[in-house]
């Protein structure tokens, strides 16, 4: 028995995991082009692992120190939880990265007699330079409005009135979020009611009662922007495939599946998802609001000073 135990440990091979993205990490930008994620798993001698399963967990970047991102409710949350089959040493999926910052990917690989392997990766996504340019131009515009208001309005009461009007304009530019109800649908695809800020469970059940293996392709499309935010292509699954996904904003999405089974016609299913939006916390709104009010206040002071001169 001791011999069999030791020989079992000897047969257990160590796995190596390599993480790749296309395009490269240096070219990534938030919510621009879809990113191709690839996990390459090899065993002894660098030979690709033929069969196995990989559990992936992708976490969004932590909250920004000062200015929040375009999706404050996404910061510091979990984006995806899924278990993907390994095919010839690879597990792949496509996904949009919604915000800037450092993403954290946790990978767990299990395969036959091989030792379970866990590895963590980090992926840094810088902000789009155009966003910083437009932010600078917007602040400059607020400063110019303050200068003009400071020269036109005289007296402390008039200045306070101008500041109140500017604050009202800034507050009115906020995005309204409306609660939407989940559209119920029958069939192989099940999507629970989705809310921004937390994971949503999505489940697909196989044809013929899940008795046959199918090649499943699943995609989630942002209907307003006509962008695919998540995609799994031809996963070899049996019975069912379930995962969790975080919808980043309160919009309408379309979940689509295509299941290909030998000797049967491809089975298609789709379901619309109306995501319930959530108002960002004050901690995410106050820094940007303070900066915009400060730009107006400085402009008011400069305009009043220049008029007195």
Residues 6 or more apart whose Cβ sits within 8 Å of residue 250: 177, 178, 180, 196, 275, 276, 277, 278
Per-residue pLDDT at 266: 85
The fold for domain 189-274 equals Immunoglobulin-like (2.60.40)
pLDDT tops 60 at residue 276: yes
CB count, 10 Å around CB of 154? 12
Q: For the purposes of burial, counting CB atoms within 10 Å of the CB of 49, is it exposed (0-12), middle (13-18) or buried (19 or more)?
A: buried
* Residue 112: pLDDT band with limits 50, 70, 90: confident
Does pLDDT of 262 surpass 90?
Answer: no
State the fold for domain 12-127.
Immunoglobulin-like (2.60.40)
| Model pLDDT, residue 179 | 42
Query: With contact defined as beta carbons under 8 Å apart, do 230 and 92 qualify?
Result: no
Answer yes or no: are the C-beta atoms of 96 and 230 closer than 8 Å. Answer: yes
Q: What is the mean pLDDT of the chain?
A: 82
Is the pLDDT at 154 greater than 80? The verdict is: no
Average pLDDT over residues 98-106: 93
- Could you please report the per-residue DSSP string of 20-69? EEES-GGG--TTSS-EEEEEEEE-GGGPBP-EEEEEEEEEPPPPPSSS--
| Dist CA 275 CA 143 (whole Å) | 37
Q: Work out the percent of the chain whose per-residue pLDDT is above 70.
A: 83
Specify burial of residue 139 (Cβ count, 10 A radius: 0-12, 13-18, 19+).
middle
Helical segments of 57-208, H only = 129-152, 156-172
Residue 232 has pLDDT above 90, yes or no: yes
Q: In this predicted model, what pLDDT tens digit does every residue of 171-200 receive, in sequence order? A: 555 544 444 444 545 578 999 999 999 999
Residue 101 has pLDDT above 50, yes or no: yes
Which ranges in the chain are annotated with CATH 2.60.40.10?
Answer: 189-274
What is the pLDDT at residue 156? 53
Delimit the CATH 2.60.40.1940 region(s) of the chain: 12-127
**Distance set, CA 38 to CA 87, 89, 101, 112, 172 (Å):** 12, 10, 20, 21, 43
Is the predicted pLDDT of residue 302 greater than 60, yes or no? yes
Average pLDDT over residues 117-127: 91
Of residues 14 and 27, more confidently modeled: 27
Kindly state the average pLDDT of the residues 2-25. Answer: 69
């Amino acid at each position: 028995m001791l011999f069999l135990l030791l020989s079992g440990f000897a047969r257990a091979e160590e796995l190596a995991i390599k993480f790749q993205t296309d395009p490269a990490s240096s070219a990534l930008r938030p919510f621009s082009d879809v990113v191709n994620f690839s996990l390459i798993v090899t065993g002894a001698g660098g030979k690709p692992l033929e069969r196995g399963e990989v559990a992936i967990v992708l976490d969004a970047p932590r909250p920004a120190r000062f200015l929040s991102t375009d999706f404050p409710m996404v910061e510091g949350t979990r984006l995806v939880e899924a278990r993907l089959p390994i095919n010839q040493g690879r597990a792949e999926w496509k996904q949009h990265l919604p915000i800037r910052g450092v993403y954290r990917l946790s990978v767990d690989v299990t395969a036959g007699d091989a030792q379970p392997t866990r590895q963590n990766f980090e992926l840094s996504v810088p902000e789009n330079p155009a966003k910083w340019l437009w932010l600078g131009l917007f602040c400059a515009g607020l400063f110019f409005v303050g200068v003009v208001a400071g020269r036109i309005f005289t007296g402390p009461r008039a200045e306070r009135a101008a500041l109140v009007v500017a604050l009202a304009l800034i507050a009115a530019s906020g995005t309204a979020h409306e609660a939407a109800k989940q559209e119920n649908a029958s069939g192989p695809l099940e999507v629970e009611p989705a809310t921004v800020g937390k994971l949503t469970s999505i489940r697909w059940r196989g044809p013929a009662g899940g008795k046959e293996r199918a090649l499943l392709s699943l995609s989630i499309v942002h209907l307003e922007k006509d962008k695919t935010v998540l995609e799994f292509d031809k996963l070899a699954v049996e019975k069912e495939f379930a995962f969790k996904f975080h919808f980043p904003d309160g919009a309408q999405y379309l979940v689509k599946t295509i299941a290909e089974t030998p000797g049967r016609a491809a089975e298609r299913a789709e379901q619309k998802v109306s995501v319930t939006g959530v108002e960002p916390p004050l901690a995410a709104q106050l820094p940007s609001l303070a900066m915009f009010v400060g730009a107006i206040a400085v402009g008011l002071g400069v305009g009043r000073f220049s008029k007195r001169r």
